[in-house]
Structure 1
């Protein structure tokens, strides 16, 4: 009788534990290519786990990768998959070579992704794109994507913080301490937050891509505000 009661109690405990346990979200590094691809390298994190969560995340990542491979932003988006985007990039190069056979400049596209931060509440992902189509220099672009870890829905930068006015003032001070050549950048009085704000293990990362606020020669401008300075402003628990 004792053993039976013990087994029943254990089974009930395991059942309750399994019901209360949150579904885990795991990212796997995945490489994308096609049979005729010779120019494009795509290595990005792909989410696995709860379908209702991962579909949102993977769909948004896929859309960003496809956008990064587009050569003419004015054209409507008709590409549906990353593989199709890769083949289209290769096809465009082949057409270019047919029109300008004397050109010796090879094309290339490299897209890499990494998980900046993953907690029970928030996921921040960085996508880095380098595309060179024969110009004076390639185009390097970094994008931060933030997601609600419980739903997979995207989170706007403005929704990361409780008070954007206070965060803007704090970011302005860190920005002024980060930049070296203050003469080439905008007036601190007209400071604006970057398009890319994400979280990593240290705090909030703010990143300005080339041309966003300065000449190309200045490159990417990036700085981090530590968690101890922003915890009171965050809409998400950074300790989870």
Structure 2
């Protein structure tokens, strides 16, 4: 649940938010794990102005595969830290309380977890965040959780790739980057290529038809480009990915 004002804030840096009630809806996919969509938006207590600080959460609660629930919460909380070594609170509620207590007018925080794809092998969860604490614009974040249904664990990139084939994987990613540049009409823009060269990312996902690589803003493109996503077809990853993950 994203209020109309929140959507406007993310796209235009408008700072007003409307108070929304907590909602929970059970989703029953035709195939895969069952989960609830849990959403709420709270303003700073006592604030009645047009630019009240607010926290908006749009997350998941799994009814099956329940071990995913604390993992999702922890990953969302990682987005709330200003620095990687900064302390992290132990719950979304604790984060909301602390944020609203110290927030200044116009501040807002948005956290979302959604099931992007799932089947009997992989549950792919995409994570999103947006933090505004003043300035020209806020800072968005993205991430993935690749959950192996049979192994009951979250997969890291090292779990997906055949040992010794890491360089081959990133070469395939570099080729995907070239395709993206061509699609954007940037493959011959020397100035752009010097300013925004290819680099690796931690955000790698096992999609049903391809491997996705998601980039943070300012990683391989300017802020206005958002979060570029590269795709590598599984046909290009034979001998690179572990056979059980070729789909």
Q: TM-score under structure 2 normalisation?
A: 0.69
For the residue of structure 2 that corresponds to 1:120, the secondary structure is coil
Q: Which residue of 1 aligns with 2:37?
A: 29
Once the two structures are superposed, residues 15-61 of structure 1 have per-residue CA deviations (whole angstroms, 9 ceiling, x without a partner) of xxxxxxxxx63232122556967611111222222xxx522x22221
Q: TM-score under structure 1 normalisation?
A: 0.71
**Aligned 8 A contact 1:186 1:213 in 2:** no
2:232 aligns with one of 225, 228, 233: 225
Q: Which residue of 1 aligns with 2:98?
A: 88
Q: Which residue of 1 aligns with 2:125?
A: 125
Residues 112, 193 of structure 1: alpha-carbon distance in 2 compared, 3 angstrom cutoff? same
Residues 109, 167 of structure 1: alpha-carbon distance in 2 compared, 3 angstrom cutoff? same
In 2, Cα distance between the equivalents of 1:35 and 1:108?
9
In 2, Cα distance between the equivalents of 1:164 and 1:139?
30
Residues 114, 231 of structure 1: alpha-carbon distance in 2 compared, 3 angstrom cutoff? farther
Q: Which residue of 2 aligns with 1:54?
A: 66
In 1, Cα distance between the equivalents of 2:176 and 2:35?
32
Q: Which residue of 2 aligns with 1:166?
A: 168
Matched, 1:68 2:79: yes
Matched, 1:209 2:205: no
Residues 161, 74 of structure 1: alpha-carbon distance in 2 compared, 3 angstrom cutoff? closer
Structure with greater helix share of residues: 1
Residues 144, 35 of structure 1: alpha-carbon distance in 2 compared, 3 angstrom cutoff? same
Once the two structures are superposed, residues 55-74 of structure 1 have per-residue CA deviations (whole angstroms, 9 ceiling, x without a partner) of 2x222211122222335655
Q: Which residue of 1 aligns with 2:55?
A: 40
> Which aligned runs of 4 or more in structure 1 are off by greater than 4 angstroms?
32-38, 71-74
For the residue of structure 2 that corresponds to 1:69, the secondary structure is coil
In 2, Cα distance between the equivalents of 1:47 and 1:231?
33
How many residues matched? 200
Once the two structures are superposed, residues 57-92 of structure 1 have per-residue CA deviations (whole angstroms, 9 ceiling, x without a partner) of 222211122222335655322x21111111111112
Once the two structures are superposed, residues 140-181 of structure 1 have per-residue CA deviations (whole angstroms, 9 ceiling, x without a partner) of 111111122124322112322223232222221111121224
Q: Which residue of 1 aligns with 2:138?
A: 138
Aligned-pair distance for 1:134? 1.4
Residues 141, 35 of structure 1: alpha-carbon distance in 2 compared, 3 angstrom cutoff? closer
Pair member with larger Rg: 1
RMSD of the alignment, in Å? 2.8
In 2, Cα distance between the equivalents of 1:221 and 1:123?
22
